Chain A
Amino acid sequence: MILARALCAAALLAALPALAESRRFALVVGDSNGGAGTRPLRYAERDAKRMHAILIRLGGVRPDDARLLTSASADQVRGAMADLSRRAEQARARGDETVLVVYYSGHAKDGDLRLGDTRMPLVELRESLRNAPADVRIGLLDSCQSGAITRAKGVRAAPAFDVQQAQAASTRPRGLVLIASSSADEESQESDDIGASFFTHYLASGLLGDADASGDGKVTLAEAYAYAYARTVGETTETRAGAQHPVYLYDLGGAGDVVLTELGPARGALVFPAGAEGVYVVLDGSRRAVAEVAKPRNDQRRLALAAGDYIVKKREGDTLLVGSFSVADGPVEIADARLSRKPLSEDPQKGASGPRWSILGTAGGQFFFDSAARNGLFPPAAMVGAELAVRDDLGHGLGWGLDISVGGGSATLTLPGVAPIPETFMVVTGGASLWKDFPLGDTFTLSLGARIAAIYMARSFESANDLPEQNFFTLTPGLQAGFSWHFAERWSAVARGRLNYLFYNVDGAQNLGYAEIALGVDYALGF
């Protein structure tokens, strides 16, 4: 029912002719932090940057007419809005047809946009858009419960037939369109698989060309909405939070649809020919998804992409079809025959589940292999440490982390002919590590990797206080292996060992090796 309604609206909107000339302004806001009581979003700011780039590259917005705000306060948003409104008013005074697009990705709750610790009521945003001195004002909100913006007093969500009636009354579109990623009582969902929010990902994919149902090289507001609606609903049906339904308020009079992006036949593009069929995911150079193409057979699709290197992948059964392509000024045709078949384990997409952050607390020890080195210089030490780890960030199954450990103890320095000298010592190490995870079933993981660290060791001789305190600092590369048992939703028990190399050069040059063994508990931070 909902899908049918959306398609109906999209079809009606698509019937409008495109605008000939216009001056476009864009305010793009992304904020991962919604203040107290909210969990940081993982992709809000990336989504905003993505939309900002698309609007400038394909949306006809001059760079100096665009404002990208990330982690901004409500007052900063108001200021940018006022600034763009002034510019739009000046442009309209010169006779330009003006369009103002406001995109927001972030938290919304209890009727407010939540920008860090500041608030901006949805009603205020809607009224700002309504009163903005632009011919067409478009609000795109990707946030939880953002559909509330379409429930304002005096305004109703426009049904399709109302839109059609209004269009006939004017020659050029004028008015307000609000599109929200979810209804007033729904959550807007992010996806670790695609590394974005569902709605923005499909909206962006549509704007890049997959929504160009008419094939005229232009993606209209109606096409983009219909596409984003269908893909968002379709892809969220099976999620834990349930289907997410974008909503819109259409209060646009006049004739002609609003073209959001022009794909430009001369620009670089990936072209999916009529014979191609299926869902193709396009990854950029950093192996993150930039677009998807849901390609029906007998229909050509064109994705207008910036020049660069891309990877296209398509899942086919239990395998992947993967290919690398360079986009320059012309079209590059994507056909299955140009893709290589690979196992799913070689998915090139970085962080198929998105980067996962966790913090690890450890307790263990450090032990030098050389007995002479253990004699006072580097005695066996008890260590405690912490590590911030990020998995699936640099690639699928890859993890990196930053760690610090402190330790120490008491030891005895034994020198020939000299009475044993008690000493107390401390050790501080900090390093960066990179490893590969090898899942062993659902609950166990083996990790192998490398680490470069700095080590600082100091000792003092309290019973012989006229002996100087001594210290040593150096870099120490090493290899590490870990074994983890995922025993609860966010918790894992970890056993880890490291083999390290240390170059010691005070009492002559020595190449030393030492081991670190630790047991710990890993807590997944949920972002």
Chain B
Amino acid sequence: MRWASNLAALALLCACGNLSNGDIAFLSAIPRSQQLHVQVPQGSNVQSLCAIGPADIYTNAKATGQSINAGVDNILALVDAIRTVTPTSRDDDSRTWGPYDDNKHPGVKIQVVMFRELDATYTPWRWIYTIMAARPPAAYLPILEGEFFGAQASNGIGRLTLHFENSTSLGMSNPGDPNFPARIHYDLSGDPRTISLDLTAGMNAFGLISFDYFWAGYADGHGELDFAVPDPKSGCTIEVNTFFNAQSAGRDVFRARCGVLGIFGDVKQCWDPTGCLTFVNDPFAFTPACGILKPCLLGSETQCPAGL
């Protein structure tokens, strides 16, 4: 049987490549940035003449959605980097990439490890994904940690934590990056699909202020976006719950957090698909259309979109 073992050895020497269904299974579990994008209806681009006034909150929601998406892209760019790279080593339930020299940051080595295990709650897999970096001989620090449930990210559940504090300490951060952990949670397994970007660990990141941003999108096109923006007029932080339908009409409820002045009560607004306010109930006149009128009641609540 020596010839057989020799033949097997020869075949082993010659067998090479990255043809692997396992690799595809691992990559399928990793979310793509497009899958985690907040989708706020963009409405009409034509500026209408509005009877009451433009829906500034809706405009803020669209801009915030784009900022959230930019933050998601920033985080997932690191994840995407390994998609086109053949794993360095494979086991039945793990893949390892690297360690590699980080070309952008001399002296830094990067290693990516991904495990999977059966999970009783989430079928069929729980995936643990870690990007680590180090400046040898110092120990590796996690740059990004992810936990995904489900075979396919497009209908899975997961969370990602980008450790900006570690990338900053390793000299890997970009100008404008925060220096605190940023977290993404997503649940794409049902209706609605939800995505949150938790920036509560620090002050500002990706052009957004500290807040736990949340988006829920339903299959029929309606959804919810919770966000916070600074109000330059009052110096307060406006915390907003927006609800919109597939036609871009919506309503919002917001309250202002104003430091030493405490929290104001709810302000209610509705707007139509053209982005014009149809109803305002603003006891504090935060709405520009109210001018100095307090309490401010404009339009009719019957003009608010139904079902939201």
**A-side interface residues toward B, CB under 8 Å?**
375-377, 413, 415-419, 421, 454, 457-459, 461, 466-468, 470-475, 477, 503-508
Contact = CB atoms under 8 A, between A and B. Distances in A.
Contacts of A458: 19
B259 to A, nearest CB: 45
A417 B23 CA distance: 15
Interface in B1-19: 7-8, 10-12, 14-19
Interface stretch (B38-46, B83-91, B191-199, B296-304): B83-91
Nearest to B83: A466
Interface stretch (B55-63, B147-155, B217-225, B237-245): B147-155
B85 A468 contact: yes
B27 interface: yes
A489 B118 CA distance: 66
A468 B84 contact: yes
Nearest to B16: A473
Contacts of A467: 24, 27, 83
Contact of A475 (B10, B85, B86): B10
B32 A470 contact: no
A418 B10 contact: no
A127 B124 CA distance: 93
B11 A417 contact: no
B123 interface: yes
Given A415-B24, A473-B14, 9 more contacts: A421-B24, A467-B24, A468-B84, A470-B18, A474-B14, A503-B12, A505-B12, A506-B17, A507-B20
B72 to A, nearest CB: 15
Contacts of B86: 468
Given A470-B17, A503-B12, A415 B28 contact: yes
Interface of B: 7-8, 10-12, 14-25, 27-28, 32, 80, 83-86, 90, 92, 123-125, 150-152, 154
Contacts of B85: 468
A417 B15 contact: no
14 contacts: A413-B21, A415-B28, A417-B125, A457-B19, A458-B19, A459-B19, A468-B27, A468-B84, A475-B15, A477-B7, A503-B12, A503-B15, A504-B15, A506-B18
Contacts of B150: 417
Chain B at the A interface: mostly helix, strand, loop or mixed?
mixed
A415 B32 CA distance: 18
B124 A417 contact: yes
A504 B92 CA distance: 15
Given A467-B83, A470-B23, A505-B12, A417 B18 contact: no
B15 A376 contact: no
Max chain A Cβ within 10 angstroms of own Cβ: one of B21, B85, B86, B123: B21
Contacts of B14: 454, 473-475
A490 B86 CA distance: 50
Given A467-B83, A468-B83, A474 B21 contact: no
A458 B20 CA distance: 11
Closest 4 CB pairs of A and B: A417-B151, A472-B17, A472-B19, A503-B11
B22 A507 contact: yes
Given A417-B151, A417-B152, A375 B21 contact: yes
A415 B10 CA distance: 31
B16 A503 contact: no
Contact of B8 (A377, A468, A472, A503): A503
B89 to A, nearest CB: 11
B12 A506 contact: no
Contacts of A454: 14
A477 B80 CA distance: 39
Contacts of B21: 375-377, 413, 415, 507
Contact of B84 (A417, A466, A472): A466
Max chain A Cβ within 10 angstroms of own Cβ: one of B14, B24, B92, B151: B24
A141 to B, nearest CB: 51
Contacts of B124: 416-417
B16 A472 contact: yes
Nearest to B15: A474
Contacts of A415: 21, 24-25, 28, 151
B187 to A, nearest CB: 16
B19 A470 contact: yes
A67 B28 CA distance: 71
B25 A418 contact: yes
A309 to B, nearest CB: 27
Contacts of B152: 417-419
A43 to B, nearest CB: 37
A415 B21 CA distance: 8
Contacts of A419: 152, 154
A506 B26 CA distance: 14
B24 A471 contact: no
Nearest to B125: A417
B24 to A, nearest CB: 6
A461 B28 CA distance: 12
Contacts of A505: 12, 15
Contacts of B12: 503, 505
Contacts of A507: 20-23, 90
Nearest to B17: A472
A214 B12 CA distance: 66
Contact of B24 (A413, A457, A472): A413
Contacts of A457: 17, 19
Contacts of A472: 15-19
A506 B19 contact: yes
A38 B151 CA distance: 68
A466 B80 contact: yes
A451 to B, nearest CB: 14
B18 to A, nearest CB: 5
Given A475-B10, A475-B11, A503-B8, A416 B151 contact: yes
A497 to B, nearest CB: 22
Given A503-B8, A507-B90, A471 B151 contact: no
Contacts of B92: 508
Contacts of A418: 25, 28, 151-152
A418 B154 CA distance: 9
A503 B151 CA distance: 28
Nearest to B13: A475
A123 B89 CA distance: 75
Contacts of A475: 10-11, 14-15
A373 to B, nearest CB: 9
A475 B23 CA distance: 23
Given A466-B32, A468-B83, A506 B90 contact: yes
A415 B24 CA distance: 9
Contacts of A508: 92
Nearest to B91: A508
A471 B18 CA distance: 6
A458 B17 CA distance: 9
Contact of B18 (A413, A461, A468, A477): A468
B90 A474 contact: no
Contact of B11 (A466, A468, A474): A474
Contacts of B151: 415-418
A126 B28 CA distance: 82
A473 B13 CA distance: 10
A474 B125 CA distance: 32
A376 B24 CA distance: 10
Contacts of A474: 11, 14-17
A507 to B, nearest CB: 4
